[in-house]
């Protein structure tokens, strides 16, 4: 039983207990009561809501046997006995009502599931061709059976010559070319119920010879290519003719299933609209009015299941309370509901509306996959050494990537964070200091020998050298270049040049030291930049495999993306139903629900929802409830809030405008949670 029907069953059972008599604990005075009351009390305590149609029949039979044994039908019962009978009948009415709801809900849901399967087949010619391959053995079997039956009926022996086209035309003559013959119907049984709607493209008549002779070369070439084009089109049409027939078959079954779905949904909506009337009958404080309400409800239930919506609103004649409820329930459980179940099953089987059997769908794989797998295994074994080398190279590549591009850079990052070494990466501090000390010694020696500096002047010059100021040396150099040859041989020109070279070396070292400090400050950034591509690749590959694992197993957040897409489609379908209500094929009740006479004026208001729309809404809402109970976290505010919104959509007392506001609230509250705003892209 579906979650919607189970929830409704629990809500209705709360209203069944007798209002004035406690039956849970027997009192001492109950020992002196009549055996009939004791039997009714025991029957009520032992009676559970029938979960199947068989249980409902058993309960009705037991109650009828109890009535015949106690003679309640031929005498007047007291108030307590009537109350007990009313409570028992209330439980039975609830059980059969829920059974009817569950049966029509399952039939409509199954029809919609099959409809979606056929719709998926019809969306692609590749799927249509594969479906033709799957059903080809069955079609050929039907064709062979038809030929054999026809030969047997005409007392003709079977020979291979019978299978020639001329023999088949004689055996199965066709008087109307627009109607399919027996062989075509054997291959495509749906043509028995649908007209032959496919025709070949007519080839245009060739131009007359006299006109062709008068035409110029361009017209002749144009006519020639036009003829080739028409011929090619007819050949393609003949080749694709079986696929077109199968595509029409898929479309026919989809349309028929849509009709079945709508018919069951319309009855389902009418049954759901009866809930308020049943609640009134159960909560009525007067036994006579309560039994009359149950009797009226039982008759309505029977008429609606039969599809007679006009008779459902008719008044029920006054009959005895003892007979008024039990007889309609007995007829409903033993005749009406089983007849409908049998009719529904036979209708689907005769029309062939259900999907093929699992064996029919799997036989191409069972036939073709083993040889292909054997061929692949032989090829793999023959190339085992190459495959081994490829696997080894792939392993080395992955391992090198893992060690060289991921682990080593990560270790360097950790090492960079933990280290406190201030040595440069280009030059060291000792190298810079050594060059600067050498420059200082060379300059001081030159100044002492050439300029005769005192110790105080040498100390001041040392400070200038540390700051990069070599003015005294440059002055000596300026004097030397006035007579370069003499200074080069006997003077200090070479020494001043070497001092300047050393100064340039110190400047270069200091510049490299500055670059070194800059690199040192950005070392962590460079380390992360170096490892970023490897981390990106690992993240992308990991996300891909995680999505494959989650999507393939149907797990993931809130049931996975595929289920959340189905929920989004259900929400969209609910909104479409409320905005553009579908038209019913029964115009006498297309605009109103099946209700009690006193409520018919309210049911025909513009804000009311017709039974067809109400039933189709219940199909989508039932899927939403099943999804919420299966995939949303238990005891969470998310699940409780979502189920509350679903209960509002299921409530028949809310009109069209109120349910539109509920849908808007669901889009607003749950759109970001379930990612509905991004579902259209998928």
User: For residue range 47-56, what is the model confidence (pLDDT) as tens digits?
Assistant: 776 667 778 7
Strongest mean pLDDT among 51-60, 62-71, 124-133, 224-233: 124-133
Query: What are the DSSP calls for 336-350, one per residue?
Result: IHHHHHHHHHHHHHH
Distance CA 171, CA 151 (A): 8
- Output the pLDDT for position 77: 60
Per-residue pLDDT, averaged over 514-533, amounts to: 79
Confirm if 609 and 617 have CB atoms less than 8 A apart.
yes
pLDDT greater than 50 at residue 613: yes
User: For residue range 112-130, what is the model confidence (pLDDT) as tens digits?
Assistant: 999 999 999 999 999 999 9
> Which residues fall within 8 angstroms of residue 291, CB to CB, at 6 or more apart?
82, 86, 89, 321, 324, 325
Task: Report the candidate in 424, 385, 634, 583 with the shortest Cα–Cα distance to residue 510.
Answer: 424
- The SS3 call for residue 72 is helix
pLDDT greater than 50 at residue 23: no
Per-residue pLDDT, averaged over 90-101, amounts to: 89
Distance CA 270, CA 297 (A): 12
pLDDT greater than 80 at residue 139: yes
User: For residue range 334-359, what is the model confidence (pLDDT) as tens digits?
Assistant: 889 999 999 999 999 998 899 999 99
User: For residue range 278-303, what is the model confidence (pLDDT) as tens digits?
Assistant: 888 888 888 888 888 888 888 888 88
**What are the helix (H) ranges across 383-454?**
384-400, 408-418, 429-451
* Confidence label for 76 from pLDDT (cuts 50, 70 and 90): low
- Output the pLDDT for position 584: 77
- Output the pLDDT for position 29: 45
- Output the pLDDT for position 598: 47
Buried residues in 493-515 as b, exposed as e (16+ CB within 10 A): bebbeebeebbeebeebeebbee
Choice among 140-149, 180-189, 532-541 with the minimum mean pLDDT: 180-189
Distance CA 80, CA 52 (A): 29
Distance CA 535, CA 543 (A): 12
Mean pLDDT value across the chain: 81
- Output the pLDDT for position 32: 46
| Stronger pLDDT, 22 or 504, i.e. the higher one | 504
Choice among 249-263, 361-375, 598-612 with the minimum mean pLDDT: 598-612
Task: Report the candidate in 191, 212, 206, 7 with the shortest Cα–Cα distance to residue 94.
Answer: 7
- Output the pLDDT for position 168: 82
Distance CA 345, CA 612 (A): 21
| Stronger pLDDT, 198 or 669, i.e. the higher one | 669
Per-residue pLDDT, averaged over 258-263, amounts to: 93
pLDDT greater than 60 at residue 144: yes
Percentage of the chain modeled with pLDDT above 90: 27
Task: Report the candidate in 9, 102, 104 with the shortest Cα–Cα distance to residue 49.
Answer: 9
Structure tokens at 490: 């006997």
> Quick one: 272 exposed, middle or buried, by C-beta within 10 A (0-12, 13-18, 19+)?
buried
pLDDT greater than 80 at residue 317: no
Structure tokens at 585: 């094929």
- Output the pLDDT for position 198: 53
- Output the pLDDT for position 196: 62
């Amino acid at each position: 039983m579906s979650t919607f029907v189970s929830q409704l069953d629990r809500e209705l059972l709360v209203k069944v207990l007798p209002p004035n008599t406690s039956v849970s604990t027997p009192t001492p005075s109950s020992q002196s009561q009549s055996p009939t009351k004791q039997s009714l009390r025991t029957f009520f305590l032992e009676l559970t809501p029938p979960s199947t149609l068989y249980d409902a029949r058993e309960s009705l039979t037991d109650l009828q046997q109890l009535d015949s044994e106690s003679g309640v039908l031929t005498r007047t019962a007291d108030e307590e006995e009537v109350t007990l009978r009313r409570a028992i009948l209330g439980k039975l009415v609830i059980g059969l009502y829920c059974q009817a709801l569950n049966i029509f809900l399952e039939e409509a849901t199954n029809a919609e599931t099959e409809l979606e399967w056929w719709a998926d087949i019809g969306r692609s010619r590749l799927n249509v061709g594969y479906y033709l391959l799957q059903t080809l053995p069955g079609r050929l079997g039907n064709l062979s059976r038809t030929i054999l039956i026809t030969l047997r009926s005409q007392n003709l022996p079977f020979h291979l010559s019978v299978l020639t086209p001329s023999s088949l035309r004689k055996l199965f003559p066709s008087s109307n070319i627009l109607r399919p013959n027996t062989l075509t119907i054997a291959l495509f049984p749906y043509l028995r119920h649908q007209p032959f709607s496919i025709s070949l493209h007519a080839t245009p008549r060739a131009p007359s010879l006299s006109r062709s002779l008068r035409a110029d070369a361009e017209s002749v070439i144009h006519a020639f290519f036009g003829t080739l084009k028409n011929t090619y089109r007819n050949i393609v049409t003949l080749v694709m003719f079986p696929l077109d027939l199968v595509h029409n078959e898929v479309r026919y079954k989809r349309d028929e299933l849509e009709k079945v779905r709508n018919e069951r949904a319309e009855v389902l909506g009418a049954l759901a609209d009866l809930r308020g009337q049943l609640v009134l009958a159960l909560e009525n404080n007067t036994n006579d009015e309560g039994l009359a309400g149950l009797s009226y409800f039982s008759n309505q239930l029977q008429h609606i299941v039969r599809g007679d919506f006009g008779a459902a609103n008719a008044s029920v004649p006054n009959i005895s309370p003892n007979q008024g409820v039990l007889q309609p329930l007995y007829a409903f459980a033993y005749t009406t509901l089983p007849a409908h179940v049998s009719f529904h099953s036979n209708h689907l089987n005769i029309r062939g509306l259900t999907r093929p059997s699992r064996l029919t769908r799997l036989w191409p794989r069972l036939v073709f996959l083993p040889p292909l797998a054997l061929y692949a295994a032989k090829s793999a074994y023959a190339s085992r050494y190459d495959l081994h080398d490829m696997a080894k190279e792939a392993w080395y590549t992955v391992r090198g990537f893992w060690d060289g591009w991921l682990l080593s850079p990560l270790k360097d990052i950790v090492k960079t964070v933990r280290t406190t070494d201030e040595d440069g990466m280009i030059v060291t501090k000792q190298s810079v200091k050594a060059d600067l000390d050498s420059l200082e010694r060379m300059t001081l020696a030159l100044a002492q020998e050439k300029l005769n500096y005192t110790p105080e002047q040498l100390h001041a010059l040392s400070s200038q050298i540390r700051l990069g100021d070599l003015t005294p040396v440059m002055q000596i150099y300026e004097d030397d270049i006035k007579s370069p040859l003499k200074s080069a041989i006997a003077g200090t020109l070479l020494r001043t040049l070497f001092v300047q070279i050393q100064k340039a070396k110190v400047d270069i070292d200091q510049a490299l030291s500055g670059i070194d400090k800059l690199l040192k400050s950005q070392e962590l950034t460079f380390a992360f930049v170096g490892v970023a591509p490897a981390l990106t690749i690992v993240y992308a590959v990991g996300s891909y495999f995680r999505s494959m694992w989650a999507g393939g197993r149907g797990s993931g957040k809130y049931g996975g993306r595929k289920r959340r897409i189905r929920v989004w489609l259900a929400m969209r379908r609910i909104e479409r139903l409320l905005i553009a209500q579908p038209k019913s094929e029964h115009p006498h009740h297309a605009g109103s629900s099946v209700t009690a006479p006193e409520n018919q004026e309210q049911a025909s208001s513009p804000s009311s929802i017709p039974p067809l729309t109400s039933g189709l809404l219940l199909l989508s809402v039932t899927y939403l409830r099943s999804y919420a109970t299966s995939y949303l976290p238990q005891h969470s505010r998310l699940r409780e809030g979502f189920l509350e919104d679903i209960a509002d959509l299921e409530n028949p007392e809310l009109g069209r405008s109120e349910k539109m506001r509920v849908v808007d609230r669901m889009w607003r509250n749950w759109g970001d949670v379930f990612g509905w705003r991004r579902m259209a892209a998928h």
